[in-house]
Chains A and B, each alone.
Chain A
C-alpha cells in the first residue's frame, strides 16, 4: 500500500540533504536510489550480512534496518565519504595490498565497519577485529586478508603520542 511521505533533513558525507521519503523506504534504498550513492551495498536486507553498513553519528549502523525518516537530524558517512579526493586512504591501501577484496561487493561494508572500529579503538587486537567484523559476511576472501589489512591500518588511526 502506498504510504505517506515525510521530510527528512540530514547530512551525508558533509553535504546537506533535504528530501521527501516514503515512510517505508529504508535508508539503504534512499541512499542508493534517491541520492544515487551506490557505494553502499545491499546483500540481504535483513540485517545479517553487513554489506549496507554506514556510519551514523559515529556509530556503524545497518542501513537496511534503518528507515530513511529515522536519519532525520543525523550525520551520515558512506564509503564515498571516507576516500580522499584521489588516491586511497591508509585503510583502503591496506585492503589493496593484502588482496582483501575479490568481487568487492562486501568491501564498502567492511571498510565502514573497520573505519568505525579503528576510529574508536585504534589499539584493538586481532581477536577484537575478528569479533567486530564477524558481523560482515564476505563470500570470496575467507576473511584472512581482511583481518591482515585492518591490523595494518591501525597505525594510521593512532593519535600522535604527545598531541
Chain B
C-alpha cells in the first residue's frame, strides 16, 4: 500500500480483550438453546479389536435418556472424515469413520453416542452400555508397525500409508565424494497442541427450513460445511457453521473430528438442539496428536564446512487413521529439512505408518519442529567434528539474498516444490548474536562448570512458512451509518485476528479503526472462505481486504461522481466524506443511501517465509539431569509487522510451548495401546515458574514480494527451533562428557542417564 499507514505497524491494544477480560466471552460451552440436550460419547476402551456386540438396553431404560446411537442407527456406510490436504485414492480407505463400525483402532474412538436431558444422565447412560469387543494385537511401536504382523486395515496389506520423498540434485553422488560425513538417528516424541478450552459443539436443526446451524466451528468453517453437506446429504446453503470464541487452536482445533458429524447428525435425528463439550481426558486421547517421528539422517560437507548434502529416512507415526491434515507432518519432515540453508543435494524419504494410537494432525510448526531438530543437531556435530565455529558454519551455509527466490527440493509423490521468497538471513543471525551477546557468553559460560552446574549455549536458524493459498475472500459493505463492515473467511483462533484485520482495513480505507467492524468465522459472511491455518490469516485475509478496499473506494468514487456530475477521478474520500469539484460534499452515510458493497478474492500460490535465529543459555544439574533455561532470545523478520504487540506475544507463547514439548509434554502409550497421560497431572504443561527469561524481537525489514501488504505469515515460528536448540545447548554444556542427546523429550532422567553412562566406571566394583 502506498498510503500513509497509521495503524499497520503499531502495537494497537486488542479489541477482543474488552469482552474477554470481563468474563463476557462467548465460548461454545457458554452458549445454550431452548430445550437443549447433552451428548456424551462412549469411547473404545481398547486399542485394537472387533466389535462383537453393543447392548444399549440398560442405557435406554434410564429416565432422561433420549437416544443411544451406534453405527447401526447412523446407517452404513458410516460417513468418514475427509482428508483436507493431499487426499488421494490410496488414503481414502484409511479415513476415519465418524463412529466405529465393526472395528476399533485406538483407545478413545467413538463407539456409542448418548443423548440425554443432562450431561450427568448421559454419563450415567454411557456407564450402562455393555460393549463386547474381541481384542486384536495392538500396533504400538515402530517395529510392530513396520513388521505388519498385525494390520490396522487388512485390505491395505501393510501399515504404511504414505511416503514423501524430497529430492534435489544428486545426493548419493555428493556423499560419495564428500570429505566429511556423519550419520545419526534422532527421535521426537508424541505430543500435541493441548489448547485450554476443550472442543465443543452446539448443533440445531430447523425442521421447517430444513436447515442446520452449528456453533463451535473454528479454523476452517467452510471446509467443515462442505464435509457436513456430503455426510448429511444437505445442500451447503442449508448449513451454517459459526465460530464462537475459541480457547486456542495451534493447528488442532477446527479440523474435522468425528463429533463434527455426530452432533449435527444427532440434532437432526432427535429434532432438538444438542450440545457436546469434551472433557480433558477425551481431549488428550482424541484430539489430533502430533510429532512422533524417528529420523536416520546423514550430512555431507567439504572440508571447509560447506554442506554438500542431506539424506536419510524418516518414520512418522500416523496413529489409527489418516485425518484431515495428518499428511502434512511427513511431507514437511521431508521437504523442509534444509531450512534456511543452501543444501545442493537432498534425498529424504519419509514413511507414514498407521498404529493403534490417537490419529495425528498438524500442531504449530508441523514437521518443521521435528526436521529442524535433526538438521541443527547434525550441523553442530559437523561443525564440531570439522573444528569450525558453529556460528561460522551456519553463516557459510545460509541462503544468501542474491540466491532468492531459492528452490527447495521437489516432493516426488506430489510433484510439488516450493521456494523461499525473500530476506537476508545473515542479518537476523547477526542481530540475534548481538542482542544475546553471544561472543561474550561463549567465552564466559559455554561448557563450563559453574556453581555445580554445566552451562551451555545453543543457536538455531530457521524459516517459517506461511500464507497457504489458494485464495481468501473479503466482502466490504458501506453501511448506512457510513461505517464499513468487513466480512472475511479467516477465523479467530486466539491470535487477535480481529484487531490485526481492523488495522489493515482502517489503513486501506483510510478510516479510523472504530468505523470498521470485522465479521469472521461464519459461513454466512462470504461466498466462500478458507480459514486460518498455515499462518495465513494476516497474509491472505489481510490481502483480500486490501484488494476489496480498493474496489470499494472505486465504487464510492463512482457513486459520488454520479451524484456530483463529475468524473470519479475528481472525487476524494477523506474524513468520512466524499468531496467533488466546487465544494460538493456527501458524508459516507449519505453516500450509502445507494447500496455499495463488493466481494473480492486474493489469490496466491506461493508461500511467504519469515525467518530468524534463536539463541539460548542453559545450565544442566548433573545430579538430577534438570535443565534450567537461563536466557532465550529470538529474532525473527516477518516482512512487515502489522501489530508488534500480538506478534511478539505469539512468538513468546510459541517458544514456551516448544519448551513444554521439549522438556515436559509426552503422550505416553503402554504396550497395550493405553494412553498413560490422560490428565494434566500426567501430561505436564509449562507453568508460570518454568521459563521466565525469554525475549522475542520481531522485525519487518524485508517485505515479502508476493502480496500487497509485504507481510509474511508468522506466529508458529517460535516453536520450530526449540527442540534443536535445547539439545544442542545441552550437548555443548556436557561436552566434557562427550555425550549427544538424540531423543526428545529432554527429561531429567534422560539427561541424567546420558551423564551417568558417560562417567568413568570408577566405583564399578
- C-alpha spacing A22/B117, complex, angstroms: 14
A142 touches B195 (CB 8 A): no
B23 touches A39 (CB 8 A): yes
> Of B196, B685, B687, which is within 8 A of A105 by CB?
B196
- C-alpha spacing A29/B493, complex, angstroms: 25
Residues of A within 8 A of B63 (CB): 2
Residues of A within 8 A of B24 (CB): 39
A111 at the interface (CB under 8 A from B): yes
Task: Tell me the chain A residues, 11-66 only, with Cβ under 8 Å from chain B.
Answer: 22, 24-25, 29, 32, 37-46, 48-49, 51
B653 at the interface (CB under 8 A from A): yes
B280 touches A46 (CB 8 A): yes
> What 1/0 flags go to B629-669 for Cβ under 8 Å of A?
00000000000000001101110111111000000000000
Residues of A within 8 A of B694 (CB): 142, 144
- C-alpha spacing A105/B120, complex, angstroms: 24
Given the known inter-chain contacts A99-B649, A107-B20, please indicate yes or no for A144 contacting B14, CB distance below 8 A. Answer: no
Residues of B within 8 A of A103 (CB): 195-197, 245-249, 493-494
- C-alpha spacing A103/B679, complex, angstroms: 21
A142 touches B196 (CB 8 A): no
- C-alpha spacing A146/B681, complex, angstroms: 23
> Of B195, B249, B680, which is within 8 A of A46 by CB?
B680
B194 at the interface (CB under 8 A from A): yes
> What 1/0 flags go to A86-110 for Cβ under 8 Å of B?
0010001001110101111111100
- C-alpha spacing A38/B26, complex, angstroms: 8
> Of A25, A44, A80, A101, which is within 8 A of B680 by CB?
A44
A121 at the interface (CB under 8 A from B): no
Can you name the residue of chain A whose Cβ is closest to the Cβ of B279? A45
A138 at the interface (CB under 8 A from B): yes
Given the known inter-chain contacts A32-B29, A136-B688, A142-B694, please indicate yes or no for A102 contacting B494, CB distance below 8 A. Answer: yes
> Of B27, B650, B680, B681, which is within 8 A of A102 by CB?
B650
> What 1/0 flags go to B676-693 for Cβ under 8 Å of A?
000111000111111110
B21 touches A142 (CB 8 A): no
B700 at the interface (CB under 8 A from A): no
B197 touches A140 (CB 8 A): no
> Of A104, A108, A133, which is within 8 A of B494 by CB?
A104
- C-alpha spacing A2/B17, complex, angstroms: 40
Given the known inter-chain contacts A99-B646, A106-B196, please indicate yes or no for A80 contacting B13, CB distance below 8 A. Answer: no
A158 at the interface (CB under 8 A from B): no
B16 at the interface (CB under 8 A from A): yes
Given the known inter-chain contacts A79-B22, A107-B21, A145-B652, please indicate yes or no for A130 contacting B680, CB distance below 8 A. Answer: no
- C-alpha spacing A49/B494, complex, angstroms: 18
- C-alpha spacing A108/B245, complex, angstroms: 14
A46 touches B687 (CB 8 A): no
A96 touches B13 (CB 8 A): yes
A51 touches B196 (CB 8 A): yes
Q: How far is the CB of A80 from chain B (nearest CB, A)?
A: 5
- C-alpha spacing A102/B20, complex, angstroms: 9
B124 at the interface (CB under 8 A from A): yes
Residues of B within 8 A of A24 (CB): 120
**Which interface class (under 10, 10 to 19, 20 to 34, 35 or more) fits B?**
35 or more
Q: How far is the CB of B656 from chain A (nearest CB, A)?
A: 3
A101 touches B17 (CB 8 A): yes
Q: How far is the CB of A14 from chain B (nearest CB, A)?
A: 15
B25 at the interface (CB under 8 A from A): yes
> Of B496, B655, B680, which is within 8 A of A137 by CB?
B680
Residues of A within 8 A of B194 (CB): 139
Given the known inter-chain contacts A95-B17, A103-B494, A104-B25, please indicate yes or no for A139 contacting B692, CB distance below 8 A. Answer: no
Can you name the residue of chain B whose Cβ is closest to the Cβ of A144? B652
**Which of B20, B21, B248, B250 counts the most chain A CB atoms within 10 A?**
B21
B30 at the interface (CB under 8 A from A): yes
Q: How far is the CB of A62 from chain B (nearest CB, A)?
A: 12
> What 1/0 flags go to B714-744 for Cβ under 8 Å of A?
0000000000000000000000000000000
A48 touches B681 (CB 8 A): yes
- C-alpha spacing A22/B123, complex, angstroms: 15
B657 touches A44 (CB 8 A): no
A43 touches B280 (CB 8 A): yes
> Of B120, B198, B652, which is within 8 A of A142 by CB?
B652
Q: How far is the CB of A107 from chain B (nearest CB, A)?
A: 6
B280 touches A40 (CB 8 A): no
A142 touches B246 (CB 8 A): no
Residues of A within 8 A of B687 (CB): 133-137, 143
Given the known inter-chain contacts A49-B196, A96-B13, A137-B196, please indicate yes or no for A105 contacting B681, CB distance below 8 A. Answer: no
A83 at the interface (CB under 8 A from B): yes
- C-alpha spacing A101/B495, complex, angstroms: 10
Q: How far is the CB of A154 from chain B (nearest CB, A)?
A: 16
Residues of B within 8 A of A51 (CB): 196
A38 touches B649 (CB 8 A): no
Task: Tell me the chain B residues, 102-151 only, with Cβ under 8 Å from chain A.
Answer: 119-121, 124
Residues of B within 8 A of A32 (CB): 29-30
Residues of A within 8 A of B280 (CB): 43-46
A139 touches B657 (CB 8 A): yes
B13 touches A139 (CB 8 A): no
A-B contact pairs, 22 of them (CB 8 A): A25-B120, A32-B30, A37-B23, A38-B25, A39-B24, A44-B679, A48-B680, A49-B680, A51-B196, A88-B18, A99-B14, A99-B649, A102-B646, A102-B649, A105-B25, A106-B196, A133-B688, A139-B195, A140-B494, A141-B652, A143-B686, A146-B688
Residues of B bordering A, CB below 8 Å: 13-14, 16-18, 20-25, 27, 29-30, 63, 119-121, 124, 194-198, 245-250, 279-280, 493-496, 645-646, 648-650, 652-657, 679-681, 685-692, 694
15 additional contacts, CB 8 Å, given A105-B25, A105-B195? Answer: A2-B121, A24-B120, A39-B23, A80-B22, A88-B22, A97-B13, A102-B653, A104-B247, A130-B692, A138-B196, A141-B656, A142-B653, A142-B691, A142-B694, A143-B688
Q: Which 8 A-B pairs have the closest CB atoms?
A: A39-B23, A103-B494, A105-B247, A104-B20, A142-B656, A79-B23, A48-B680, A38-B30
